[in-house]
Amino acid sequence: MAEIRVDHLHKAFSEFVAVRDSSFTVEDGEFLALLGPSGCGKTTTLRMIAGLELPTSGTIHLGGEDVTFRRASERDIAFVFQLFALYPHMNVRKNIAFPLLSQGVPRSEIKRRVEETAKLLQIDHILDKSVSGLAGGDRQRVALGRAIVRRPKCFLMDEPLGTLDAEFRDVMVRELRELHNRIGATTVYVTHDQIEAMAMADKIAVMNHGVIEQFDTPQEIYNRPASMYVADFIGSPPMNFIRFNAGLAKGASSARIGEADVTMPELRADVMPGELALGVRPEHVRFSDASPLRGAIYGSEYLGTTQIVIIKTAGGTVRARLPAEQSYRIGDTVGLVFASERLSLFECGSGSVVP
């Protein structure tokens, strides 16, 4: 059992709160991505789990045991922050064996575990080669081998692909996910890249100024964002927000935008007068001549199989993802329809979703 449980974790550096009252559980074998922009508290959260930073308050349990005050070396975890720092003067075998050598594991056991790890990563044929002559992909596999050879209960990874160019990143995202499927160790992975998080994680914690705004599966976070911040951070281009003024009663199910009444999720409670925003993903917008919600086409971005068309409406700018072959002219006035079952509704003041 290697469940990670964090309860009311809090970290202040003097006056500055880096992590605020954070609680979540990473189930045994689950892959969690801590996602958010620079400075939102991802690394500080990870360092506390690793035992490299002491929390101001709150507790951390690993596999059911309270490890809050245990040293990093006494927690059965591997902390990976730079996947690609290899020892250039050693061969592949020695690079992978290194963490075991420093732990005093017997030689025969080291040999067995290095070979088993190399097999898992399909680099057993290059074990006696020098790392300096290896191609990029093999170097990364060796670095991964070094991280997993100890077979820790948990992996904590801090932007391990941060320095890679886009092409290698894609390859490594796939490899890391496959590796996780094979060895199933509980993993917490820090990234500011939503695409990486979506592609790899079972769960994502979206962080903002030290607070977890949403903790859920990638699908839920994409389809039912808990706040405008989350909706805006996930998806490329992000969710559209169509603003309108409302003082609406419980049961209302349409929003007045310009001249049009647009269907929206039915309100379960009264909403005070103020600005609301309908949230709609670009792929849930389509053109329809009959729609009273009108807008003028302003620009477009061609993406190969699809295109993003930018339309100015009375509720603000809307981006629509349309088939690449759909034709129109800049300046055309078009009617817009939203997939009503895919809409979200937010309160602009607080940024929260309207329940």
Rank residues 39 and 137 by Cβ distance to ligand ATP and give the closer one. Answer: 39
Rank residues 44 and 186 by Cβ distance to ligand ATP and give the closer one. Answer: 44
Angle at 55 between CA 216 and CA 48, to 5 degrees: 60
Rank residues 40 and 297 by Cβ distance to ligand ATP and give the closer one. Answer: 40
Q: 350, exposed or middle or buried, with CB in 10 Å at 0-12, 13-18, 19+?
A: exposed
Neighbouring CB atoms inside 10 A of 217's CB total 12
Rounded to the nearest whole angstrom, what is the least distance from the CB of residue 36 to ligand ATP in the complex? 6
Rounded to the nearest whole angstrom, what is the least distance from the CB of residue 353 to ligand ATP in the complex? 23
Rounded to the nearest whole angstrom, what is the least distance from the CB of residue 54 to ligand ATP in the complex? 11
Rounded to the nearest whole angstrom, what is the least distance from the CB of residue 296 to ligand ATP in the complex? 39
Cβ distance 23 to 10 under 8 Å? no
Rounded to the nearest whole angstrom, what is the least distance from the CB of residue 352 to ligand ATP in the complex? 22
Rounded to the nearest whole angstrom, what is the least distance from the CB of residue 192 to ligand ATP in the complex? 6
Rank residues 4 and 242 by Cβ distance to ligand ATP and give the closer one. Answer: 4
Hunting for tokens 């929206």 — which residue is that?
Answer: 264
Rank residues 18 and 144 by Cβ distance to ligand ATP and give the closer one. Answer: 18
Measure the CA–CA gap between 99 and 306, rounded to whole angstroms. 47
Rank residues 12 and 308 by Cβ distance to ligand ATP and give the closer one. Answer: 12
Rank residues 42 and 75 by Cβ distance to ligand ATP and give the closer one. Answer: 42
Rank residues 56 and 306 by Cβ distance to ligand ATP and give the closer one. Answer: 56
Q: What is the Cα gyration radius of the chain? A: 25
**Chain position whose Cβ is nearest to ligand ATP:** 43
Cβ distance 308 to 283 under 8 Å? no
Angle between helices 166-183 and 136-148 (to 10 degrees): 30
Rounded to the nearest whole angstrom, what is the least distance from the CB of residue 162 to ligand ATP in the complex? 9
Measure the CA–CA gap between 310 and 300, rounded to whole angstroms. 6
Rank residues 39 and 274 by Cβ distance to ligand ATP and give the closer one. Answer: 39
Q: Give the footprint of ligand ATP on this chain (CB under 6 A).
A: 13, 16, 18, 36, 38-44, 192
Measure the CA–CA gap between 234 and 36, rounded to whole angstroms. 10
Rounded to the nearest whole angstrom, what is the least distance from the CB of residue 42 to ligand ATP in the complex? 4
Rounded to the nearest whole angstrom, what is the least distance from the CB of residue 297 to ligand ATP in the complex? 38
